Amino acid sequence: MAGRIPETFINDLLGRVDIVDVIGSRVQLKKSGRNHKGLCPFHDEKTPSFNVNEDRQSFHCFGCEAHGTAIGFLMEYDSLTFPEAIETLASMVGMEVPREASRGPKPDTELYDVLQAAARQFQRWLRGDDAAAAVSYLKERGLSGEVARDFGIGLAPAGWDGLKTALASFDEQKLIDAGLLVRQEGGRGRVYDRFRERIVFPIRNTRGRVIGFGGRVYGDGQPKYINSPETEVFRKGRELYGLYEARRARRGLQSVVVVEGYMDVVALAQHGVNNAVATLGTAIGQTHFETLYRHVNLVVCCFDGDDAGRGAAWKAVDAAFPVLSETRQLKFVFLPEGDDPDTIIRNRGQEHFRSLIGGAVPVGEYFLDHLQEGIDLDQADGRALLAELATPHIRRLPSGSLQEVLVNDLAARARIDASVFARSVGATWGPDDEQHSFEGRRKVDRQAVGNKRLLHYVVQYPQLMDDLDPNVRAELADPDDASLLADVVRHVAQEPGMDTGTLVGCFVGREGYDVLVALAEEEPVLTREALAPDLEARARRYVAKREGAALTRKARETDTVEDAKRRSDAKAQQVL
């Protein structure tokens, strides 16, 4: 993980770039008094309400309230992370981005060069004289040369060392590190090409860099698909095939369709559906959804209608719930048995496929229908069972309108009081009297952060979490905790060594982003060395306090507050 970008450099960079040039290269602006005005790129409008102020080097839209600096504009408009936006601005003014020293290893940027060279070689082979069988296969699948070019599709020919020989100018170990070559078990065995006699699909990150490959047989070989292994630049659990191409094909991308394979993505693009993406041999996870919702508001998962497809859909619900909101929608389409997006769009056309997507089932409806299967709601115990099954899932939803709608829908199905059920799942928007609702909202405002000083520490020095007591870290990352602090700790735990810029970038377009940006811009209250023990002590006190509050709430239903207080004190002593 690269080190942190010094704040002094960021300030210097912002002093050298002109926000009018940055935005003007992407949005048509006209001089209007001291400002420049144009149509807002972040919402539909006919009368310009988007203002760029050259003196303050900031932008503001009076229609949708979007605002910020050149960095924030690039992050939102180009869907960049914080470090990527910094690098983009720096390249515009010819500056090199410095990095502070980091305990984590620096990513091997030469791997990008190796992978790009491999992609070019695969493409040359597909245009070569020995590619007849592969080209014939692609044509049978209905793919044109233009689509193959847009997706960078190539060919790995038969043979054990074609790529090894073609890229002989690179160090052999570098090719192994990039996942292009394989060394036989034992560490001293023969080294050979990983991709052989396969159609090759380059996998690009959101900046368009090749980070890995997928290979599909075009004959009778097995397995049908293989992917690059995990490398310093490629993480299967984070990347999505086709996302870069979808963003490039459609400015202002609003939705994506998640399908199962590369060929589905490419076939849909061939027929005009250019907003499809696919996971890379893994089930879609929370990190995938976080990535997608940085770019779009609607995700439609397209699964087979068999048991396996419905099982995958349920896993998707579980992964998505912690990041959903009223502005982040999720829907499901289940295809007829024996069909996939590729066959449907080739045999029945774009209009039919789009009609299927248009009829997708919203996540709330699918969630409740799935839980209700096999339950007799005419029986009291059946209704109680439905509420019991739904409770842990609904608790994982962020507090807001979506959670409220699900609570009310389930209460109607189970014929229970919505306000009682809302309290049982920890909802704080409570449909009670106005005073209670005000107090609840005020409580949410405090709890949404968790502990601001602790959050400040984690944002300033995320790497300190790597050294925190594992038990305390696990408590802070409690999946049932919807606070911003817990969300941040979960991100840091998934990627040890993460720096501040990368951490803040994970929250672009999400609730809490403005809070994290403000904390990241504050001066550190202590040096890193002095802060480490204070972070540990605060984390332990915070965990103990949460445990005590949870036990007190439980006492209201099971026994006396005094009993719960004794257990809370005992728990606090264990943690401290």
Beta partners for 155? 199
Q: Is the peptide bond before 533 cis (omega within 30 degrees of 0)?
A: no
> Is the same domain home to 80 and 192?
no
Taking the CB of residue 460, how many other CB atoms lie within 10 A of it? 20
Q: What is the pTM of this model?
A: 0.65
For residue 528, CA distances in Å to 8, 92, 102, 472 come to 17, 32, 12, 19
Split into its structural domains, the chain has a count of 5
Domain of 473: which CATH number?
Answer: 1.10.860.10
> Is the same domain home to 408 and 467?
no
- Domain edge (last residue) among 399, 427, 446: 446
Flag whether 1 is in a domain: no
Beta partners for 181? 193
Q: What is the DSSP string of 279-300?
A: -SSS---HHHHHHHHTT-SEEE
Q: Tens-digit pLDDT profile for the chain (576 aa)?
A: 456 787 778 877 877 888 999 999 889 999 888 789 999 888 878 888 899 988 778 888 888 777 888 888 888 787 677 888 888 888 888 888 887 765 455 556 789 999 999 999 999 999 999 999 999 999 999 999 999 999 999 999 999 999 999 999 999 999 999 999 999 876 667 899 999 999 999 999 887 889 999 999 998 888 888 999 999 999 888 899 999 999 888 766 789 999 988 999 999 999 999 999 999 988 999 989 988 987 888 999 999 888 888 889 999 999 999 999 878 899 999 998 888 899 999 999 999 999 999 999 999 999 999 999 999 999 999 999 999 999 999 988 887 888 888 999 999 999 998 888 888 887 765 444 333 333 333 333 333 566 777 888 888 888 888 888 888 888 888 887 778 888 888 888 877 777 777 777 777 656 777 788 778 766 665 667 777 777 888 888 888 877 766 665 555 555 544 554 455 455 444 444
Q: Rounded to whole angstroms, how far apart are CA atoms 324 and 402? A: 8
> Is the same domain home to 75 and 33?
yes
> Is the same domain home to 203 and 247?
no
- Domain edge (last residue) among 369, 403, 420: 369
Using CB atoms within 10 Å of the CB of residue 434, give its burial: 0 to 12 exposed, 13 to 18 middle, 19+ buried: exposed
How many residues are there in the chain? Answer: 576
**Can you give the residue range of the structural domain that contains 175?**
110-227
> Is the same domain home to 160 and 44?
no
Helix (H) / strand (E) containing 267: helix 262-270
Strand pairing report for 329-335 and 298-304: parallel
Flag whether 153 is in a domain: yes
| Residues 6+ away with beta carbon under 8 Å from 347 | none
Helix (H) / strand (E) containing 154: strand 154-156
- Domain edge (last residue) among 169, 203, 227: 227
Domain of 407: which CATH number?
Answer: 1.20.50
Flag whether 302 is in a domain: yes
> Is the same domain home to 441 and 455?
no
> Is the same domain home to 453 and 524?
yes
> Is the same domain home to 462 and 436?
no
Flag whether 158 is in a domain: yes
> Is the same domain home to 218 and 307?
no
Burial 276-304, CB ≥16 within 10 A → b, else e: bbbbbeeebbbbbbbbbbbbbebbbbbbb
Flag whether 183 is in a domain: yes
Flag whether 232 is in a domain: no
Asked whether the beta carbons of 88 and 80 are under 8 A apart, the reply is yes
> Is the same domain home to 380 and 411?
yes
Asked whether the beta carbons of 52 and 17 are under 8 A apart, the reply is no
Flag whether 310 is in a domain: yes
Asked whether the beta carbons of 571 and 547 are under 8 A apart, the reply is yes
> Is the same domain home to 438 and 454?
no
In 363-483, which ranges are continuous DSSP H helix? Answer: 363-372, 380-395, 401-414, 418-424, 434-447, 452-460, 470-476
Flag whether 100 is in a domain: no
> Is the same domain home to 560 and 471?
yes
Domain of 268: which CATH number?
Answer: 3.40.1360.10
